[in-house]
Structures are given as structure tokens and as C-alpha cells.
Amino acid sequence: MNAKFRKAIMVTLLCTSITIPIQTHAYQEPTDYVHMKTENMTVYSAYGAKIAASEKQGTYSVKANIVNNRQPLEVEIFKNGQSGVLKQMVKKGVMEPVAYRDEGDRVIATIHYNAELKFEYPAQIYFRDIENSAYSTYITTLAQRGIVQGSQPEYFGVNDSLTRAQFSALLVRAFSFEQKQTKQYKDVNAKKSWYGGHVGALHSLGIINGKTPNIFDPNGKITRQQAILMLGRTLDVVDFVPEEYGALPYEDSNDFQGELLRYTKTLYGIGALDDNTDLLPNQYITRGQFAKMLAVTLEASGRL
């Protein structure tokens, strides 16, 4: 996902006016960025945010007056010998995944709320049931980032289905959206459920809907069609601009229209969908299938 500045911009940093040269960033559309720079980190905003940034003993702190799930910040950190997986602190002692891509000498992260970032050694991942799976690489990559976990020790559950609550948590964690509480659904306890903040975030962004206006059905299973729709809407939220793709190869996609047709073409075009004769849209999606869809979507949007 390569985008460039249309022109160098002038910013004030510590009372010094400097010019930022043309660089490559995760955002797709060329735009003028305001930024704040420390020794090893540069924080960019496409929305004119006032940014405060600092680094100390391997912890990178970022604050801004404009940063949310629709108006993120982009954080470029040069490694300078540091290794591991970049994560963000959500509260003292609790680290969560952050969406970023690794450029070798640096990482470029997308954050949706004020955060403290730090490199951590990735956990040792071993799932017995993925060794001969076509989805092994995708699962391992997501697991090393801390995005996915096993269904039980040493087992990923590659052929298991996904519940609506689990799906919500994976999507929010993968794109590092800020959790939001919601009172929309009677069957989602905003304060006590482990998934309430994830459901609220996706609902507020228009990514996920309830089974009815007031019922979410957290234990209901996700179909392939539903996964396609929600991943497609997520790409819209992060301003992904797809290429024009041709006809689909699936014999059972002839009746697809609107959102479903558009998002299926997008996900197939970026390589997120398996290349089979039929898509089987009403079949429950497996954890392995969704791991591939999620990993490819993250990479296409500059977040993996």
C-alpha cells in the first residue's frame, strides 16, 4: 500500500521549521501530513491533529487531540537493533496487538487511540493441528502478533467455526480499533462480557449488525458471506481503495449483488478467498479460512 506526499510540508517541531521530504506511508491517497518527530519515531496525522510524542527506554508514547477509529495516526518507528513484535499498552501490564507493517529497518503502525508502544519478544507458537493445513502460515503469522490464539493448548481449532463474539474480537484486535461500549443489544452486557467493547466498536463503525435491532446473538456462528461483508466494510472504514476486478470464478456467485458482489470481488482480487469452484456463502466459515482472509486483508491495507 504505497502512497506519497504530493509535496513536502512545513511543520514546526520544538520551535524549528523543517521540511519533510516525500516518503511512503500506509495511507492510500496522497495527502499533506502534520507530524511530530522524536529520535527514532515520527508520528503522522492526515487530519491536522496536534501531536505529542516521546520515547524513553524502548517505550514510545503518542498522544493527539484527533485520533479515533476513523481518524487514525500513523507511527513510524526505526528499530535500531530492537527486535520482536510491536504491541500497545491498553493498561498497566496489559499489552495488546497493534496493526503495523514491517519494513525491515522500521515498522509503520496505525493506531486509533493514544497509546504507548513497545517491542516484545513473540510468544513461541505451536499448534498441532495446523502442520498440514493450507492456512498454517497465516495462522502462525497472526498468532505471533497476538491476534489469534488457540482454542485450547497446542490446538488452534483450524476446522472449528467462529462465533459472532469471537469474530468481533478478532477483527477489532487485528485492526487495533478502540473498543466502544454499546447499549444497543439486550444480550450483550457492556460491562461484564469480554466481547462487549469489540461488538460496540464494530457496531459504531457500521461493520456489524445484530440479528435484530436489539439482539446481537454473540454465540451465533458466522457464515462465509457474513465474513466477506464485514471484512469488506472494514476495508471501507480504513479507506482501502480496491482495483477494478473482473468476474468471479465461483459458480454459486451469479446472484450476488450490491455489497456482497463488490466485497467478494475485492477480497478475491487481493487473494483473501480460496480459489474453488463454489464459494458456498451460506456455509459456516472455519477458523483457518478466516485466518487467511484476515491476514491477507491486513497485508493489503498496509497493516501486516
Mean pLDDT for the stretch of residues 243-272: 94
In the chain, how many domains are there? 2
Q: Which three cell numbers stand for residue 82?
A: 530492537
pLDDT at 279: 97
**Residue where one domain finishes, among candidates 79, 95, 120:** 120
Boundary of a domain, candidates 93, 120, 147: 120
Decide which of 120, 151, 172 is a domain's last residue: 120
> Quick one: cell of 191?
460491562
Check whether residue 142 and residue 248 sit in a common domain. yes
- Return all residues near 181 (Cβ < 8 A) that are at least 6 apart: 190, 191, 196, 197, 200
DSSP string, 126-155: --GGGTT-TTHHHHHHHHHHTS---SBTTB
Whether residues 172 and 241 share a domain: the answer is yes
Residue 19 in domain? no
Tell me if 1 is assigned to some domain: no
Residue 278, CA distances (Å) to 229, 230, 248 in order: 17, 20, 10
Higher-confidence residue of 130 and 9: namely: 130
- Distance between CA 213 and CA 55 in Å, rounded? 45
Count the neighbouring beta carbons within 10 Å of the beta carbon of residue 20.
19
CA 28 – CA 217 distance, rounded (Å): 35
Residues 184 and 240 in one domain: yes
| pLDDT (tens digit per residue) in 78-124 | 999 999 999 999 888 889 999 999 999 999 999 999 999 999 998 78
Verdict on whether the full-model pTM lies above 0.75 = yes
Half-sphere exposure of 132 (CA within 13 A, CB side): 0
The answer to whether residues 73 and 152 belong to one domain is no
Asked if residue 163 belongs to a domain, the reply is: yes
Q: Are residues 45 and 159 in the same domain?
A: no
Measured over the CA atoms of residue 222, residue 152, residue 138 and residue 249, the dihedral's sign is: negative
Same domain, 77 and 201: no
- Dihedral Cα 55, 59, 60, 62, nearest 10 deg: -100
Give dist(CA 34, CA 44) in Å, integer. Answer: 6
40 residue type, one letter: N
- The answer to whether 31 and 61 are in contact (CB under 8 A) is no
Residue 23 corresponds to which amino acid?
A: Q
On average, the pLDDT of the chain sits at 89
Same structural domain, 111 and 154: no
Does residue 10 fall inside a structural domain?
A: no
Domain extent, residue 72, equals: 34-120
Residues 243 and 166 in one domain: yes
Name the β-bridge partners of 74: 44, 110
Residues 184, 88, single domain; the answer is no
Q: Are residues 145 and 114 in the same domain?
A: no
What tens digit of pLDDT does each residue of 149-186 get?
A: 998 889 999 999 999 999 999 999 999 999 999 999 99
In a domain, 11, yes or no: no
Domain presence at residue 271:
yes
Q: Are residues 227 and 98 in the same domain?
A: no
Cα-based distances in Å from 160 to 128, 287, 298: 14, 6, 22
C-alpha 231/C-alpha 291 separation (Å) is: 12
Kindly state whether residue 54 falls inside one of the protein's structural domains: yes
Whether residue 71 lies inside any domain: the answer is yes
- CB atoms near residue 247 (< 10 Å): 9
Together in a domain, 116 and 139: no
**pLDDT 10s digits, 192-230:** 899 999 999 999 999 999 999 999 999 999 999 999 999
